[in-house]
Structure 1
Amino acid sequence: MKLSQLFAYSLLAGSLLFTAEAYAKKKADIVDTAVAAGSFTTLVTAVQAADLVDTLKGKGPFTVFAPNDDAFAKIPAADLNALVADKAALTNVLTYHVVAGKVMAADVVNLTSAKTVQGQDLNIEVKDGNVFVNGAKVIATDIETSNGVIHVLDTVVMPSN
């Protein structure tokens, strides 16, 4: 092998390594983060059914108050199936969990409400060291993504209409 070929291969290997490291350090978007977590399968299925994947993979930034699978399990199966079957109602509920902008937990605790992309406000309350959004307890915070942040809820919150 010629020295020039060896040098070229070394450069190629180094650039591939740099690219892999840069890729590994890049955060996933909201949807990919939810999929990777493994505890948002119902939410991801609902987002797909409502055709909101591209939106939540978009530039953002967004703050998602994301109900986990246990939160969705609190909804009777027939009601959940009916909601998923009604795209307009499903979109209404899902966008009620999304706030424009990146609102970290340190900022959420100073709010009493937040306007959702659905158009209505979420009520925010801090009580006994816990944060509640429309009565749903925030059980995990500040899951940063490339296009925003996820805070996990223990209950699905429903808009007034």
Structure 2
Amino acid sequence: MKLLKKISAFVLLGALMASCGEKKAEETTDMTDTTTVEVEAPVAAQTIVDVAVANADFSTLVTAVKAADLVETLSSEGPFTVFAPNNAAFDKLPAGTVDGLLKPESIEKLKSVLTYHVVAGNFDAAAVVDAINKNNGKYSVTTVQGGTIVLSLKDGNVMLTDANGGTAMVILADVAASNGVIHAIDTVVMPK
């Protein structure tokens, strides 16, 4: 019976990973209706970086993390909550922005942008929504970069507002990793 549960968990995780980029927005944006699935240790051994590498929709993020030399950091014990821009989020940036950030002379700027998407601690969707609701609809978090992001709700979706007034929406919540959790977002947020 335990073997059957393990196999089912692996199949479920594989289907989730394969479909992350294919879900419709209305199916993936409602953070208040999440389902928790307990998965045993072999799957949970994947770090945030491992999970991102396994999902083609995060290939630009993975390239950036490697270029910024942050793989070891984001593979460490953590825990971390990562608001991870998908490839479409990076595509929204002005032409040449990603290429410019990936240049060796821009490594510090790239690190700043990437660590602005990371919060120390493990905050699942329920904890995020609870914090927003308990703080009159807005909750500020300090990022690993040192800046602040304001979290709020709009039409049942968690929204991020960056230091420049730019916004992003969580489009997929609670992707578990051994050292934290990933929430995919539709826009790259920027520090000052």
| Fold match by TM threshold 0.5 | yes
Number of residue pairs matched by the alignment: 139
Number of the residue aligned with 1:50: 68
**How far apart, CA to CA, are the structure 1 residues paired with 2:44 and 2:127?**
24
SS in 1 for 2:111: helix
Structure 1 runs of 4+ aligned residues shifted over 4 Å read: none
- Tell me by how many angstroms 1:27 deviates: 3.3
- Find out whether 1:40 has 2:51 as its counterpart: no
Structure-2-length-normalised TM-score: 0.70
State which structure, 1 or 2, has the greater radius of gyration over its C-alpha atoms.
1
Q: Give the unaligned 5+ runs of structure 1.
A: 1-21
Number of the residue aligned with 2:94: 76
Q: Which amino acid aligns with 1:42?
A: T
**How far apart, CA to CA, are the structure 2 residues paired with 1:24 and 1:147?**
13
Change (3 A) 1:28 1:78: same
SS in 1 for 2:62: helix
**2:80–2:118 contact (8 Å) kept in structure 1:** yes
Structure-1-length-normalised TM-score: 0.82
Number of the residue aligned with 1:62: 80
**How far apart, CA to CA, are the structure 2 residues paired with 1:131 and 1:66?**
13
Q: Kindly, what percent of the aligned residue pairs are identical?
A: 54
- Tell me by how many angstroms 1:23 deviates: 6.4
SS in 2 for 1:31: helix
Number of the residue aligned with 2:117: 97
**How far apart, CA to CA, are the structure 2 residues paired with 1:119 and 1:24?**
33
Q: Give the unaligned 5+ runs of structure 2.
A: 1-39, 133-138, 162-166
